[in-house]
Amino acid sequence: MIPKTFKEVIDLGDGREISIETGKLAKQAHGSVVVQSGKCMLLCTVVSNYKQADVDFLPLTVDYREKFAAAGRYPGGFFKREARPSDGEVLTMRLVDRVLRPLFPKDYHSETQVMIQLMSHDDDVMPDAMAGLAASAAIQLSDFPFECAISEARVGRVNGEFVINPTRAQLAESDIDMMIGASADSVMMVEGEMDEISEEEMTEAIKFAHEAIKVQCAAQIRLAEAFGKKEVREYEPEREDEDLAKKVHDLAYDKVYAVAKAGSAKHERSAAFSEIKEEIIASFSEEEQEEYGGLISKYFYKAEKAAVRDLTLNEGLRLDGRKTDEIRPIWCEVDYLPSTHGSAIFTRGETQALATVTLGTSREANQIDMPSFEGEERFYLHYNFPPFSTGEARPIRGTSRREVGHGNLAQRALKGMVPEDCPYTVRVVSEVLESNGSSSMATVCSGTMALMDAGVQLKKPVSGIAMGLITDTESGKYAVLSDILGDEDHLGDMDFKVTGTAYGITACQMDIKVKGLSYEILVNALKQARDGRLHILEKLTDTIAAPNADVKDHAPTMVTRRIPNEFIGALIGPGGKVIQELQKETETTIVINEDPVTEEGIVEVLGVGSKGIDAVMAKIDSLLFKPEVGSVYEVKVIKMLDFGAVVEYIDAPGNEVLLHVSELAWERTENVSDVVNMGDVFDVKYFGIDSRTRKEKVSRKALLPKPEGYVERPPRNDRGGDRRGGDRRGGRDNRDRKPRRD
């Protein structure tokens, strides 16, 4: 018997709906829902251990996977099974994790898993936009200690109108692609890309998405109430001691405040804070240290955070001595690496990124093979964050989720500025060499300069900045911090990264930790970010004002040529013989694609220097060569025959035609070699297809003056009948032939 189910439906306002259902699947999980829109179905399950883990953080895992069966497809590759998550899945995991994690109690340390699976796919529904809704709805059905329902929604703008959860087709026409995560009361996360929009337009998009999220949060609450709201589980909270907290605060606050006000460098400041901490710990007896060691450290960090925040709010000063809107010193350099196609260094304070650019053909495009999307990227960016960049030694275990996320943000920031007619596949790699502040924004800046150094004709240069926010709800004070340090990232109420040109925003990423942030403060923060962006942009353009006109001498040049479909086979040759030999002879890379609309062949030729490319273009020209009737062409003799000479068009090597012995000269020619020899070059006139022989006809004699007294011989068919009749055989009548025996 099918169990009883509970369901809520959310109206998106344009005929589309999202339903949330529970009670049928995965009932041993602590909470499970199926979220559906159209034919797209997500199953989300949540489980959290009842025993607290022996750690001082929340061991939360958010896992999002797309099953290939959902789209009726097999996994690619030899191993026909879903394996490690794709970058697209990792990015969805990060979007959901960033909204959920702050809503668990700080002292809740039970291992928790949120698993979201795409079980059925719909081409008109983008499943990542519903992942946050599914996760929160499942948690609402559980007994987890969780602050409130949240949801996430994508917002686009098509023809000036905002759209919630647009289709992929709508998104292609949209100038905004943003994901917003929020509760009914507060916006908590924003991430996306834009087509140079203003700060006010971005804020309006966030407001629009928030209104839709409020409806989705209300639906989750109704579903939980109908299903039967569970009592929140009991768990062992962290130990607290108010007297100890006050004592540590009193011992630490003034000393930390003084060090913070001194405006020192990162390592000097960290050493001073550590010394204060050790002094405070030493002021307790060995017995107290053994009993309260963890609490002393915890309360010290609270006092440190309070002192640093107060310094900024009260005096407008920061840890390194800067004012709130001041940018750290910047220096840049391009063309640093001699062998790369493009390179640039961007250094801002204690953050440094070295970017490289590599140019290639469509064969080097980044292939995306997900159940929800198949395609390729002709521009992509990879971000590497080695441990030495922060002065640490730790194991390297593949590409982290953080590296995937930061690289994607920088890629979104830059990709809109790569022109649509750029013939290359472009790969940018950012190597973070130092980090104290936003290395992803340093990646955007170094990436911009490296692209221009490589000769990629960017529409406009892009810069990026990381911002922070400190607020005091009681006094109403707040401070927006430009170009935040790593320490300021942790102690603030909002950290956000904004990239853009001089004309508008191209990408953003925000994590908002304070409830009920006003849109007025948000707009002010974005405007201060714009001032910082423009300051940094000026430093970039001082280093390299515009893209180099050409690629470097050692970098490949790309030439693209379209050819009619019927010539593709001739260029490739049997078994690829022609194209392979041509690539070897010219030292080029040749890629042939077919235009899906016109069915023309798109030939990409990549080579260093013009010699090889010119040779390939000449080969293509020769394939496409069609002589015109009545035109004169220069030819070369390449083969001698008894009845004529085979000649090759000089302007179209490989194109041959027979020059018949009768067309060599006006005089009767007994031997071809009496008139021409191998290698001779001369002009011929093209007469098109001969009606008698059905072959192309060219003539040398047509360009020569007739000899004096020359008498034209009558045509052969005037000398005794048709050559196809019996006269050819000595006048015998074919009708007298005996019948053929079987």
Query: CA separation (Å) from 621 to 561, 587, 636?
Result: 10, 18, 17
Helix (H) or strand (E) holding 408: helix 401-415
The answer on whether 495 is annotated among ligand-binding residues is yes
* Closest C-alpha among 43, 31, 97 to residue 70: 43
Round to the nearest angstrom and report the end-to-end CA distance of the chain.
82
The DSSP 8-state label assigned to residue 619 in this structure reads H
Q: What is the CA radius of gyration of the chain?
A: 37
Distance of alpha carbon 716 from alpha carbon 117, whole angstroms: 83
The DSSP 8-state label assigned to residue 317 in this structure reads B
Distance of alpha carbon 316 from alpha carbon 410, whole angstroms: 30
Contacting residues for 684 by C-beta, under 8 A, at least 6 apart: 632, 633, 635, 647, 659, 698, 699, 700, 702, 703
* Closest C-alpha among 205, 287, 292 to residue 243: 292
Q: Which two tokens stand for residue 208?
A: 């629009």
- How many other CB atoms are found less than 10 A from the CB of residue 689? 11
- Three-class SS of residue 586? helix
Is residue 68 a contact partner of residue 371, using CB atoms and an 8 Å limit?
A: yes
Is residue 440 a contact partner of residue 406, using CB atoms and an 8 Å limit?
A: yes
The answer on whether 614 is annotated among ligand-binding residues is no
Per DSSP, helices labelled H in 66-148 are: 87-100, 131-140
Distance of alpha carbon 114 from alpha carbon 230, whole angstroms: 18
Residue tagged 């300069």 (tokens): 449
| Cα torsion through 346, 352, 356, 357, rounded to 10 | -50
Question: Regarding beta strands 6-11 and 17-22, do their DSSP bridges make them parallel or antiparallel, or are they unpaired?
Answer: antiparallel
What is the tally of helices (H) and strands (E) in the chain?
14, 29
Q: Which amino acid is at 317?
A: L
Question: Regarding beta strands 644-649 and 656-660, do their DSSP bridges make them parallel or antiparallel, or are they unpaired?
Answer: antiparallel
Query: CA separation (Å) from 95 to 64, 80, 83, 131, 254?
Result: 10, 28, 21, 9, 39
Is residue 387 a contact partner of residue 436, using CB atoms and an 8 Å limit?
A: no
Which residues does residue 180 pair with via DSSP β-bridges, in sequence order?
A: 153, 190
Is residue 142 a contact partner of residue 32, using CB atoms and an 8 Å limit?
A: no
Per DSSP, helices labelled H in 573-661 are: 577-586, 610-624
Distance of alpha carbon 44 from alpha carbon 691, whole angstroms: 76
Query: CA separation (Å) from 600 to 279, 358, 564?
Result: 77, 28, 5
Point out the annotated binding site for Mg(2+): 489, 495
Which residues contribute to the annotated binding site?
489, 495
